[in-house]
Structure 1
Amino acid sequence: MTKIKKAVIPVAGFGTRFLPVTKAQPKEMLPVVDKPSVQYAVEEAVRAGIKDIILITGNSKRAIEDHFDSNFELEYNLKTKKKTQALKAVQKIAKLANFIYIRQNKALGNGHAILCAKSVIGKEPFVVIWPDDLIDSPQNCIQQMIEVYDQYQSPVIGVLAVTKKEVEKYGIIKNKYITKNVHQVLGVVEKPKLSKAPSNLAILKGYVLTSSVFGILEKLKPGKGGEIWLADAVMKLLKTHSVFACEFKGKIYDVGSKAGWLKANIAYALKHPELKEEIKKFIAKDLKKI
């Protein structure tokens, strides 16, 4: 059994929902408290045993590469000023994993972004992580997906139960319950009306896929917006492969949206040892005036 060691994280999008701040700044580098959102995805993958992080980048994304590289001048400055805590936090970033950067030269969709990693993935199974989906969960979501893959040796989709109001925002699976947090995927309905939704299990966070998806992506015709979508490839995969869903427990924050990003910052600040008391006071006192 091949152990999963590679994760693909697409970060080439324009981040239009955050303009103008994302005109020259990657949205993936916007902070949730004191770490960029993409770092949360990387750290979760590393804790799940991932060794190679493959970042699919685009124009104006150089800051992501710089972030996961060493900064000797900064480290020297922190060392000289005896800022030990900050120095340790900075130094550990470049040591998290083996980072590989692949440029997506044209904005042809997230399926095309995954296809860009084909030569690096080879024949191995791999994880896909959407960095916009920040899930505050007591369990490692990536680890859970890998465990389901190890058990069934088939592609796995990450899902989370959402409210009735949220169903229309996501791809929703038609499912057959297997056990505890595992479902067999019988179909996918993209952003259905509540009356047409086959369940309340929304596709979030990422996938565990096998290299067979590359053959499908290579033949896939452009879909919505003239782009190649990974979700369309998974729909085709369902016709020839068993696909399973791993259901997460936790709170989802769409940090690719302004409201989701702000909510995540408040929630994570309330758990931060340096900030939680001050933020609690702010919420209790200042927000009452609104």
Structure 2
Amino acid sequence: MTDSLHFLVSEELAMPADPLTSAMARIIAARYPDAARAVLFYGSCLREKNLDGLMLDFYLIVSDYRAAYGRRWLAPANRLVPPNVFPLEHEGLFAKYAVLSEEDLTRLCGPQADNVSVWARFAQPSRLLWAADDRARRHVVDAIASAAPTLLQLTLPMMPPSSSPGILDLWRAGFTFTYDAELRAERKGRSVSIVDVDPDRYERFGRAVLDDIARRQGSGPQGEAPQILSPDDAANRWRRLQRRGKWLSVVRLAKASFTYADGIDYLAWKINRHAGTNIAIRPWQRRWPLIGALTLLPRLFRGGAIR
């Protein structure tokens, strides 16, 4: 019998992380004393033992945006196009943290989300490094426990009907679809390597997800997890997610030019690191980061640095 999905998510979120990342989580929470509810650490850096030279990724979960920002323009910006993203440096380590409300975390991890950016990330491993109280901790676990079912429910109908895909094949296909729904700097094949770096984890979580879907929706004639959507409906849903995801990526890039100091340099660093390019930012692009960032897009598409 497989472990319950909720148990696996709770167990994984509670696993230890590098003490410096825990210190950074506390610093992030302290910046928002009236609103901070939880801080999550996620991304490829979870697997790294040496964090020097890396950009660490965090999510700050807040009670609501007005409590986090007061009456500044950042509150409506975060509400209209979540998340806002900010930089952090601590003891020589560099990080960025994205801000989401508890309400948006729940919405964007679930099947009602209009883009993949949150549930695609939290279908992968993450760590809950700080929580304001037990209620905040339970809320995070409940929200993240819906991320992987969202991914696999949308992926199941897209698998060839004549095939018998394994659980890892399902994950690989799902992450490939999500990578096509955002502007990504990573090389082709990165979506597959996510699964291959820890297949045991994805096997266990995949079985728990399919059991969870079958429990909630009823199992198929062979005891399999049911397909919630028809293949045509699922394909249409992915197309909508891909169109909206590309547009949202550009809007978030524009917003980050205002919320993120030296954001265009970070953009160039990330693309160079993942895509093997050698982009150099010119002085005028630093003076006008929004225009400078947007002028990179046609060149990056032509060169295949982002997809």
Please indicate, yes or no, whether the TM-score normalized by the shorter chain is above 0.5: no
Relative to total residues, which structure has the larger strand share, 1 or 2?
1
Of structures 1 and 2, the one with the larger relative CO (CA 8 A, separation 6+) is 1
Relative to total residues, which structure has the larger helix share, 1 or 2?
2
| TM-score, normalising length: structure 2 | 0.28
